[in-house]
Chains A and B, each alone.
Chain A
Amino acid sequence: MKLLHKGIDFYMNHKKLLIMMLLVPIMAVPFFGFSPYMMRMITLSGIYIILALSLNLLTGFTGQVSLGHAAFYGIGAYTSALLAIRFDLSFVYTAIAGGLVAGFFGLLLGLPTLRLNGTYLSIVTLGFCEITRLVALNWMDLTRGPMGLTGIPLPKVFSWVIDKDAEFFYLILILIILTWVAINNLIKSRTGRALISIREDELAAEAMGINILKYKLIAFTTAAFFAGIAGSFYAHYASFIDPQSFTFDESIQILSMVILGGMGSNLGAAFGAVILVSIPEMLRGLQEYRMLMYGAVLVIMMLMRPQGLLGNVKLGDILNKKPVNEEEVSQDA
């Protein structure tokens, strides 16, 4: 136990340094000589990390189980693809626009859901996801319907065109860090505590004077905003989108990442995203049995850790606690 306390002390004293040290190998990923295929998997994981982080804010922290996250992802992708194709705008603008439009729809969806809870809310979000897909499928003039949008230009950050694997990697890394910092700060603020209290007990929260409508809307809008940004990146990265890429299955996939990683844990959501993106690729050698094994892995993981990989592991709490109350520390560990 003493060693543990020493470790915690060391962490407390050198927190910034340690985080920087963790960031160094991540920053250096493009120099490890990974194949383009590996780099694609890493970048794809990055997109899903943003999606899982944003859904985690809504589902993990606020307790609103949404089955419509793919809709915001799709709205962001379509918005920024159309802006880039028709007006040749820089990625900075298309991503922000994608996020804002998705956020606006998040706000719209949030409004009627004030009166809904649990499964009822999930069904409404599911319906929203279907509506979005059908609009994208049938609004031929705008979205070209099932023909999809082809030839989406590469992302430009002002005059710098991003076309190398390493550049894509740094772009998604920057987006992940922005998302992480924003959501983390939100959670740690007064707003975050209000969101968590809504998850724990909505009635009690309201009785304590928390404006449920306002905070639910904040959660919906923020989650949708970041999902929209992820969509925007995906559109430029893949250069082709069609309504099939943003179906209900995609929502389930993102929700699985959050649940598997551990609801209410940002690190868990990120882990969940990386694992669920990489397992199907790692199992490629199994040919036809690949998806069967994938399902089996999910079942086994949920049976062994129903609370998710990092669920209930309050890593932040443990590390932030001053080593004064020793008993609690040893119990938690």
Chain B
Amino acid sequence: MKKNKKMVLFVSLILAFALVVTGCTSKPALEEAAGEIKIAVVGPMTGDSAQYGQAFKKATELLAKKVNEAGGVNGKKIKLEIVDDKNDAKEATNVAQKLVSDQDVIGVIGHFSSTASLAASPIYQRAGLVELSPTSSHPDFTSQGTFMFRNVNTQAIEGPILADFAVKDLQKKNIAVIYINNDWGITAKDNFVSAAEALGANITAVESFIGGQTKDFTPTITKIKNTKPDLLFLAAMYSETGMIAQQIKQLDYDIELLGTSSLNNQQLIELAGPAVEGLYLTNNYFPEDPSENVQGFVQEFKEAYGTEPDQFAAVAYDSLDMMISALKVSGPDRAKLRDALAEIKDYPGVTGKTTFNENRDVLKDMIIMQIKDGKFTLFKK
């Protein structure tokens, strides 16, 4: 009897609490909406990939504050709504449904991973709300509808740049490939391999691994060593690249390494140290870039948060800035924002000059960098 009463009390408390919480979130938004433009920033704010979501959050909040202090967009203040999707497909669709139901939300910056972006895209498309993902590189993402944009070069653009550099600049003819077995890794590998083969290179081996699971790469490396390549292309994230580089060193194997822009992270050097010395990679954001807007951004970010912004912060910053410049043309209207955004050409972002093509995929300039003396240095512009 007593226990039952307790339980009833407890359950009703939870329900009451839930009512309060849900009640709180929806009401004030309606009242304040008049002089504001609401933009949602969605990403993994909690969970395994929280660092990326936090980078989104920091960069966009920094920009919104700056824009609002300068008077906002056509006199209206930017109001950001930071939303967590845990990098999970189901949560992403829930969040998307919530955002499209809120008529004040004019545009969405997000989601982080292609899985989340893809899962949510039918909902944004049906409601006609812009989904501008700073980081989703899945080839199918922007073809899900007319409201999907991305602000990251797909591997269809990056792959040929890398292949061109490997074959023409480095003069390598025999190339081996290791790739991470996910949507990004597969497209990175495919685009690199086909471009390199078209330039007359010989692909000696193609090996895959499972992200977050494979820790021992020695069998893969031994296999690759036997095919005698003179360059190893890594389509991997920095954590596994660090492991691969270290294990190559341990096996006393001497080979030049080439990676994608995903390796542009200080952690790689901290993790692998001398093992990644000499590694080449593509990039479109470089904190030491002397150009004015990059230095301005890095300075502001350092002042606000005390750390140097990484590429995820930079690309989220650019995404919001592009959306804001489109809003200046379109005003707070979902459909007009889409049209204005699609028109953006040669936008001078901190991640390079940016243009949307007819598929709303982005075309960005890329530079080649090399790790030298424990630092990312510019190799070729």
Contacts and interface: CB of A to CB of B under 8 A. Distances in A.
Whether A and B are associated in the same complex: the answer reads yes
Interface of A: 35-37, 40-41, 44, 134, 137-138, 140, 145-148, 150, 238-242, 244-245, 278-288, 290-291, 297, 300-301, 304-305, 309, 313, 333
B97 A284 contact: no
A195 to B, nearest CB: 28
A287 B210 contact: no
B65 interface: no
B138 interface: yes
Contacts of A35: 101
A86 B302 CA distance: 52
B128 to A, nearest CB: 14
A150 B97 CA distance: 18
Given A240-B119, A282-B22, A291-B86, 19 more contacts: A40-B93, A140-B186, A145-B186, A147-B138, A148-B118, A148-B183, A150-B140, A238-B90, A238-B119, A239-B122, A240-B89, A242-B183, A278-B18, A280-B91, A284-B25, A285-B21, A304-B7, A309-B11, A313-B4
A37 B98 contact: yes
Nearest to B3: A305
A312 to B, nearest CB: 10
B45 interface: yes
B140 A147 contact: yes
B97 A36 contact: yes
Nearest to A241: B89
B47 A44 contact: no
B89 A40 contact: no
6 contacts: A36-B101, A37-B94, A44-B90, A145-B183, A288-B84, A305-B3
A154 B89 CA distance: 18
Given A242-B89, A304-B10, A145 B119 contact: no
Interface in B286-329: none
Contacts of A134: 210
Given A36-B97, A44-B94, A138-B181, A150 B118 contact: yes
A137 B181 contact: yes
Nearest to B138: A147
Contacts of B262: none
B14 interface: yes
A297 B13 CA distance: 11
Contacts of B10: 300-301, 304
Contacts of B363: none
Contacts of A242: 89, 115, 118, 183
Contact of B21 (A37, A146, A148, A283): A283
B208 to A, nearest CB: 9
B46 interface: yes
Contacts of A305: 3, 7
Nearest to B25: A285
A146 B46 contact: no
B381 interface: no
Contacts of A40: 93-94, 97
B182 interface: yes
Interface string B125-145: 000000000000010100010
Contact of A37 (B4, B18, B90, B101): B101
B21 to A, nearest CB: 5
A240 B25 contact: no
Contacts of A241: 89
Nearest to B141: A150
A287 B121 CA distance: 23
B46 A41 contact: no
B82 interface: yes
A185 B14 CA distance: 33
A281 B89 contact: no
A288 B45 contact: yes
Closest 9 CB pairs of A and B: A282-B18, A146-B182, A37-B98, A40-B97, A37-B97, A147-B183, A285-B21, A37-B101, A146-B183
Given A282-B21, A304-B6, A147 B100 contact: no
Contact of B82 (A36, A41, A138, A287): A287
B251 interface: no
B24 interface: yes
Contacts of A238: 89-90, 93, 119
Contacts of A283: 21
Nearest to B143: A150
B186 A146 contact: yes
A287 B45 contact: yes
Contacts of B138: 147
Nearest to A286: B21
B237 to A, nearest CB: 14
Interface string B26-56: 0000000000000000000111000000000
B249 to A, nearest CB: 29
Contacts of A286: 21
Contacts of B91: 280
A229 B191 CA distance: 38
Contacts of B18: 278-279, 282
B212 to A, nearest CB: 11
Contacts of A140: 186
Quick one: which of A147, A288, A304 has the most chain B CB within 10 A?
A: A147
A242 B6 CA distance: 42
Nearest to B50: A288
Contacts of B115: 148, 242, 244
Interface in B106-163: 115, 118-119, 121-122, 138, 140, 144
